[in-house]
């Protein structure tokens, strides 16, 4: 038979055990923060009816959504994000849910875009949403969670940029721009973090506006929250001011907040406050984003469920943490390797293995007798800190020899003390 090349599709990844150890470490930290604030996990299907997904994100989202037809003629799509599937989920299950409903969801999504650093075709998003209330306390809670997550992950320099789609619409309306053109202008302005001012102005001109520079200048913020509030004081800023006050009362440090009136978020479904988190000192762009969506659930039911949420860009966060050196001491699951010295020591090694497993210690056994050097190399490759040796001398004296892989030192102790010795270490490590 011809061999099949072990390739994967561009924009997807294999993850080695050490990669998964890092990812699980970060994912568990994020989950713990979500759960501290009362969010419960849900899961939604990976394959969806195409009508559930398509038509919800605007032209660009439509272009980037994977969709296909089954052999039976059913049109299927893969989730572009977790927000639209969540809106469908609420519409289908709201009678069984406490409203307002808070959920977190960590799943894969897919986008048919050109792969690059921090941007894959298959990737994880970590979402939180609050649905069933329009009260701005929910936006402030999300800001508080954002700060907590990034601080727990070790980020020291980041900022939550925020704005309001209602405010953007009001500014564009005051410039004489027709309402049907709002979303086109918003999508261009949203490119400001990707292309420079001149190119943004040029793209606005292509939409048919002679006053493109005036439009651009009209949405630029001032150098501080206070001065930006002053610059836009002729507009309705009640929503913005209430959010800022709630954040202050909720303990969100002001240094993490930036009122950026040029922030647009290009997705069609946003209607109110919007957010983006930028890590300073990194070129990877947005690490977390989201906002208020008032009308999304109404696509699937007759109930009025306003929602707000953000998505943490897991893959980008992982890249930044790698750059920060956050994973230098990450280990795999096994804490102990029990060697098999020779055929005569198999039974003794198996007995030791069983005792450690029953004591709740993560360990494994080398499956056949082999040179100790080879077994040590195996332990080193798996980052196992302790190796247990039971050779003829140890069996005769009812002892075990413990090799500490990091230092290379060895010590011999009575066999009956092994479990307590390792348990003490194991509990200290937790």
CATH number, domain at 414? 3.40.50.800
Q: Are residues 240 and 273 in the same domain?
A: yes
Task: Quote the strand ranges of 60-100, DSSP E.
Answer: 67-69, 75-77
User: pLDDT-based confidence at 124, cuts 50/70/90?
Assistant: very high
Q: Are residues 35 and 116 in the same domain?
A: yes
Structure-token match 């990091």, residue found: 406
pLDDT (tens digit, 9 = 90+) per residue, 345-368?
Answer: 999 999 999 999 999 999 999 999
Domain count, the chain: 2
Quote the Cα angle for 265-87-306, to 5°: 70
Q: What is the pLDDT of residue 429?
A: 60
| Residue closest to 58 by CA, chosen among 187, 212, 242 | 187
Task: Name which of 8-12, 207-211, 379-383, 412-416 the model is least confident about.
Answer: 207-211
Residue 7 lies in a domain: no
Identify the DSSP state of 116: B
Q: Which two tokens stand for residue 74?
A: 């059913």
Q: What is the pLDDT of residue 427?
A: 63
Backbone angles phi, psi at 144, to 5 degrees: -65, -40
Residue 286 lies in a domain: yes
Residue 9 lies in a domain: no
Rounded to an integer, the average pLDDT of 2-9 is 92
Last residue of a domain, one of 267, 293, 323: 323
Residue 56 lies in a domain: no
What's this model's pTM, rounded to 2 decimal places?
A: 0.89
Q: What domain range includes position 179? A: 17-39+89-323
Q: Which two tokens stand for residue 50?
A: 């195409």
Rounded to an integer, the average pLDDT of 279-299 is 87
User: pLDDT-based confidence at 428, cuts 50/70/90?
Assistant: low
Q: How far is 159 from 258, CA to CA, in rounded Å?
A: 7
Q: What is the pLDDT of residue 150?
A: 97
Chain-wide mean pLDDT for the chain? 90
Residue 164 lies in a domain: yes
- Is-contact 86 40, C-beta < 8 A? no
Q: Are residues 307 and 406 in the same domain?
A: no
Q: Are residues 252 and 380 in the same domain?
A: no
Q: Which two tokens stand for residue 306?
A: 């306003």
Q: Are residues 350 and 319 in the same domain?
A: no
Q: Are residues 178 and 256 in the same domain?
A: yes
Q: How far is 393 from 401, CA to CA, in rounded Å?
A: 10
Q: Are residues 342 and 277 in the same domain?
A: no
User: pLDDT-based confidence at 266, cuts 50/70/90?
Assistant: low
Q: Are residues 21 and 144 in the same domain?
A: yes
Q: At a CB cut-off of 8 Å and minimum separation 6, what does 385 contact? A: 331, 335, 336, 404, 405, 406
Helix or strand run (H / E) with residue 200: helix 197-206
Q: Are residues 148 and 200 in the same domain?
A: yes
Backbone angles phi, psi at 416, to 5 degrees: -70, -15
Last residue of a domain, one of 298, 323, 348: 323
Higher pLDDT, 1 or 172: 172
Tell me how long the chain is. Answer: 430
3-state secondary structure (DSSP) of residue 44: coil
- Is-contact 332 384, C-beta < 8 A? yes
Q: What is the pLDDT of residue 207?
A: 83
Q: What is the pLDDT of residue 19?
A: 95
Q: Are residues 248 and 114 in the same domain?
A: yes
pLDDT (tens digit, 9 = 90+) per residue, 300-336?
Answer: 988 889 999 999 999 999 999 999 999 988 889 999 9
- Is-contact 162 136, C-beta < 8 A? no
Residue 267 sits in a domain of what CATH number?
3.30.930.10
Q: Are residues 372 and 305 in the same domain?
A: no
Structure-token match 């506006």, residue found: 209
Q: How far is 254 from 38, CA to CA, in rounded Å?
A: 24
Q: Which two tokens stand for residue 387?
A: 């190796």
Q: What is the pLDDT of residue 200?
A: 79
Quote the Cα angle for 104-163-269, to 5°: 55
| Residue closest to 56 by CA, chosen among 300, 406, 251, 235 | 300
Q: What is the pLDDT of residue 281?
A: 76
Rounded to an integer, the average pLDDT of 274-301 is 88
- Sign of the alpha-carbon dihedral angle for 380, 385, 388, 393: positive
Rounded to an integer, the average pLDDT of 230-257 is 95
Beta bridge partners of residue 122, listed in sequence order: 110
Q: Are residues 305 and 179 in the same domain?
A: yes
Rounded to an integer, the average pLDDT of 180-190 is 78
Q: How far is 100 from 42, CA to CA, in rounded Å?
A: 15
Residue 330 lies in a domain: no
Residue 118 lies in a domain: yes
Q: At a CB cut-off of 8 Å and minimum separation 6, what does 333 contact? A: 21, 362
Last residue of a domain, one of 323, 344, 378: 323
- Is-contact 308 292, C-beta < 8 A? yes
């Amino acid at each position: 038979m011809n061999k099949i090349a072990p390739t994967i599709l561009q924009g997807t990844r294999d993850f080695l055990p050490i990669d998964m150890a890092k990812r699980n470490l970060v994912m568990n930290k994020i989950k713990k923060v979500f759960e501290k604030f009362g969010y419960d996990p849900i899961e939604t299907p990976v394959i969806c009816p195409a009508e559930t997904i398509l038509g919800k994100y605007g032209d660009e989202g439509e272009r980037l959504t994977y969709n296909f037809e089954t052999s039976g003629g059913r049109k299927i799509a893969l989730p572009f994000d977790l927000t639209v599937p969540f809106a469908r989920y609420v519409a289908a299950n709201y009678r069984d849910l406490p409203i307002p409903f808070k959920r977190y969801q960590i799943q894969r999504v897919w986008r048919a875009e050109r792969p690059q650093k921090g941007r894959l075709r298959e990737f994880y998003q970590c979402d939180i949403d609050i649905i069933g209330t329009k009260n701005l306390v929910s936006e402030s809670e999300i800001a508080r969670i954002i700060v907590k997550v990034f601080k727990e992950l070790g980020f020291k320099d980041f900022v939550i940029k925020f704005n309001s789609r209602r405010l953007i619409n009001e500014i564009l309306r005051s410039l004489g721009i027709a309402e049907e053109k709002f979303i086109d202008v918003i999508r261009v302005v949203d490119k400001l973090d990707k292309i420079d001012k001149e190119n943004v102005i040029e793209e606005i001109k292509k939409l048919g506006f002679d006053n493109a520079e005036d439009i651009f200048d009209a949405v630029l913020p001032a150098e501080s929250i206070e001065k930006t509030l002053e610059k836009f004081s002729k507009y309705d800023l009640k929503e913005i001011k209430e959010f800022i006050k709630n954040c202050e009362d909720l303990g969100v440090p002001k240094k993490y907040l930036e009122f950026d009136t040029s922030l647009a978020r290009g997705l069609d479904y946003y209607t109110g406050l919007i957010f983006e988190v930028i890590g300073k000192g990194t070129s990877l762009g947005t690490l977390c984003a989201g906002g208020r969506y008032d009308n999304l659930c109404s696509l699937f039911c007759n109930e009025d469920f306003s929602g707000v949420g953000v998505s943490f860009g897991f893959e980008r966060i992982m890249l930044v943490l790698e750059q920060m050196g956050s994973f230098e001491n990450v280990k795999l699951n096994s804490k102990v390797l029990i060697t098999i010295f020779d055929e005569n020591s198999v039974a003794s090694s198996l007995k030791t293995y069983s005792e450690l497993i029953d004591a709740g210690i993560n360990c494994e056994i080398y499956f056949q007798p082999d040179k100790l050097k080879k077994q040590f190399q195996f332990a080193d490759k798996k980052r196992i800190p302790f190796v247990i040796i039971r050779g003829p001398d140890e069996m005769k004296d009812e002892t075990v020899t413990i090799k500490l892989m990091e230092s290379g030192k060895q010590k011999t102790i009575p066999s009956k003390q092994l479990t307590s010795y390792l348990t003490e270490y194991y509990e200290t490590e937790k």
